[in-house]
Amino acid sequence: MTTPMELFVEEMQKLFQPDEVYVMDGSQEEAERLADIAQKSEVDGRVVLRKLNDKEYPNSYYHRSNSNDVARTEHLTFVCTPSETEAGPNNNWMDPKEAKAKMTGFFKGAMKGRTMYVIPFVMGTPKSKYAKNCIQITDSIYVALSMRVMSRVGKQAIERIGGSSDFFRGIHSIGDVNPDRRFIMHFPQENLVMSFGSGYGGNALLGKKCYSLRIASYLGYKEGWLAEHMIIVGVQDPNGKVTYFLGAFPSACGKTNLALLEPVLKGYKVWTLGDDIAWINVGEDGRLYAINPEAGFFGVAPGTGLKTNPVMVKTLKNDKFFPTIFTNTAVDNSNNTPWWEGVSDEVPSDMTDWQGQKYDKDSSKAAAHPNSRFTVSIYNCPTLSPECDNPKGVPISGIIFGGRRKDTIPLVYEAKDWNSGVFTASIIGSETTAASSGQVGNVRRDPMAMLPFCGYNMGEYFQHWLNIGKKVQKLPKIFMVNWFRKDENGKFMWPGFKDNSRIIKWMIDRIEGKVGAKEAEIGLFPEENAIDLSGLDIKKETMEKLLKVDKEDWKKEVVMIEEFYAKFGNKMPVDLRNHLAELKKKLGI
Ligand code: OXD
Ligand code: MN
């Protein structure tokens, strides 16, 4: 009997008409073979992979994409639910029939002369009951190899699926990399994504944003769990006790640096479990437990260096898991290593920039694209938590939300309770970054850092968060942070990076009930001297400014929040509207 999985592959073969079909087994031998083929193949006029200096960066390859295909394209990303309301004002919507007709038109015969890769993979450790089975089809060998790093590819997925029809279907073709024929279509009700015309991670590695966030957030809504744009870390204190946190920040706001943090405070250590996505379930004991569905990091290269993220530098130089891929960085020709702004203070004299041109050292242009990336296995990470593959996940005591704001949002505050925390997360605004195409630096509302990733109406999503709170017996504390406050001269006021551990220590003290807090209009604030600033040269006035609620700034903020809330009409939960009304009263509006 033909299984649904086999039928799907047959159907795809008929549609795409490839010269060959290759089903991945996930082995190291296979990955080495594919990397060899990729070094001899050209796509879109460029060789797919180039081997880098094996001594400096073992198992590493360089990939340069089309310069029109370097970031997520939110304007070309659609959620295709039966009605527009189900997708919500937070998503672009297209009728599912129309979307399928459009995509099928692009897909027809698109793999003539190419190989169709069938990638069976599991999101989450395959032993976990929370893990999900998936199949992606692609004609990009770069995507196939990247999927091996980012997910658990291979036989285990085929075994888990067996004769069942319950698996995610991800259909991808890089097409001719033409932005006019580029779409990423999600069909949450059908557990299906169709993506055409882009090889960029967030658009093409369909297990990541498309499945583990957009589709999974919808599954979580239906099944009673949460799929979130969050890091997972365990923070060990000097007595050896580990407290697990989740952290949600918009793209390119330091999530990976926080996930691999080396604390400045003596005796503290961060254990890494995930740097981008968390699936959160209510465990048998009534607490929230999180697993990381991914198996790798797809991180922003610029700004990653020994000062900012020494653990990632070690991860990238580790040879445990094959392969590591650098995309759209520059290359230092003197030793064939990848280079990006922030990896060293010195700029090498003989470099090729991300577009393949000789780099002019005196130019003001960056050598690496600001959204250039590395794709590396989580198993290469020296601070990987021993709990990383625990099928139950880890119990969460604190949730940190954040955004990138030069003003208004204080360095840290705590929400009074779960519902106030949901409100706090629902009003996040953040300056846009290079992770998505479009203008950089504009403040936009990005609730829970999920605006580009929530696969259904965000009003319903907020209600789902409130409902989860009712099911949990021991709720985590919720905190808001902003590492990015600037002074009148445009200088960052807080050192950030390693020093963020000082703020996390305060959170642990709050979770353990060791310190009190002062109440202000927007939440609970550290008492005087409660943040450990030992060894840090920061003025008292600076700390005061960092922790101040500026009423005039907040009055402007409330206008933006009200506009955002209004878009959701009666889908916006009453509880959150009441919180907003209460905040206005406190601010004297
Ligand atoms: C990412 C993103 O790549 O958020 O993680 O864009
Ligand atoms: Mn992300």
Q: How many C-alpha atoms does 133 have within 13 Å on its Cβ side?
A: 17
Token pair 């604190």 is found at 398
Contacts of 387 (CB under 8 A, 6+ apart): 234, 271, 273, 394
Q: Which atom in ligand 1 lies closest to the alpha carbon of residue 250?
A: 4
Q: What pLDDT does residue 435 have? A: 86
Q: What is the rounded CA–CA span in Å between residue 316 and residue 304?
A: 11
Cβ-contact 502, 529 below 8 angstroms: no
Kindly give the distance from the C-alpha atom of residue 1 to the centroid of ligand 1, in angstroms, as a whole number.
41
Q: What is the rounded CA–CA span in Å between residue 64 and residue 338?
A: 11
Q: Which atom in ligand 1 lies closest to the alpha carbon of residue 71?
A: 6
Task: Tell me which residues have their CB closer than 6 angstroms to ligand 1.
Answer: 72, 201-202, 251, 276, 298, 435
In 3D, which of 155, 205, 204, 161 has the Cα closest to residue 26? Answer: 155
Kindly give the distance from the C-alpha atom of residue 436 to the centroid of ligand 2, in angstroms, as a whole number.
10
How big is the chain by its Cα radius of gyration, in Å?
A: 23
Q: Which of 184, 198, 230, 298 to mutate to test the pocket of ligand 1 (most atoms within 8 A of CB)?
A: 298
Q: What pLDDT does residue 241 have? A: 98
Give the global pTM: 0.98
Kindly give the distance from the C-alpha atom of residue 72 to the centroid of ligand 1, in angstroms, as a whole number.
8
Q: What pLDDT does residue 47 have? A: 98
Q: What is the rounded CA–CA span in Å between residue 277 and residue 286?
A: 22
Catalytic residues: 253
Kindly give the distance from the C-alpha atom of residue 34 to the centroid of ligand 2, in angstroms, as a whole number.
27
In the chain, the largest separation of any two C-alpha atoms, in whole Å, equals: 74
Q: Which atom in ligand 1 lies closest to the alpha carbon of residue 435?
A: 6
Q: What pLDDT does residue 1 have? A: 80
Q: What is the rounded CA–CA span in Å between residue 84 and residue 572?
A: 16
Question: Is the bond into 338 cis (omega within 30 degrees of 0)?
Answer: no
Q: What is the rounded CA–CA span in Å between residue 80 and residue 73?
A: 16
Note down pLDDT in tens along the chain; length 589 residues.
899 999 999 999 999 999 999 999 999 999 999 999 999 999 989 999 999 999 999 999 999 999 999 999 999 999 999 999 999 999 999 999 999 999 999 999 999 999 999 999 999 999 999 999 999 999 999 999 999 999 999 999 999 999 999 999 999 999 999 999 999 999 999 999 999 999 999 999 999 999 999 999 999 999 999 999 999 999 999 999 999 999 999 998 999 999 999 999 999 999 999 999 999 999 999 999 999 999 999 999 999 999 999 999 999 999 999 999 999 999 999 999 999 999 999 999 999 999 999 999 888 999 999 999 999 999 999 999 999 999 999 999 999 999 999 999 999 999 999 999 999 999 999 999 998 888 899 999 999 999 999 999 999 999 999 999 999 999 999 999 999 999 999 999 999 999 999 999 999 999 999 999 999 999 999 999 999 999 999 999 999 999 999 999 999 999 999 999 999 999 999 999 999 999 999 999 9
For the record, the structure tokens of 113 come out as 């002369």
